Structure 1
Amino acid sequence: MSAAEPITEEEVVVAAEEVVAAAAAEKEEAHKLERRCSSIIAMAFLISLEFDFSLWWFQVKVMKRSGWLFPAQQK
């Protein structure tokens, strides 16, 4: 069996710098994904609002046409 070589301070510093750099890259990637997800959620919300308005407008048109919304004045 051979004795293990001791780890030098320089090796520890290099390893720590690599860990910090990897953590910073992961954090940046997480922020990018978070912004992307927020954009997708906002877009889905706007699309749902547009669909709700379109459905409401269609209902108003049908109700006008059928006479439910503005019934004719009876004398």
Structure 2
Amino acid sequence: GAAVVSACARAVLDAGRVPYYSTDLSNLKSQAAALRCGFVPAWTEAYVYVPRQQRVDGDYLGLGRLGQAPVSTQPA
């Protein structure tokens, strides 16, 4: 709970580091504990499932379906 989070955050701060708290977007209890301990939301991540048969190698943004060139992850 919040007591453990607070103790860990304090230990990290005492070590001269910046504490970081991460949880799944759907884990509301964990988010509430983080907020009670003074953590504030900084960003969120979202994932989209693309069925295997619709995946295009290197086209992680789906730009090929929009008529744009896919983003290459290979060195030039």
Q: Which TM-score band (shorter chain)?
A: under 0.3
Larger Rg: 1
Q: Which has the higher helix share?
A: 1
TM-score by length of 1: 0.21
TM-score by length of 2: 0.21
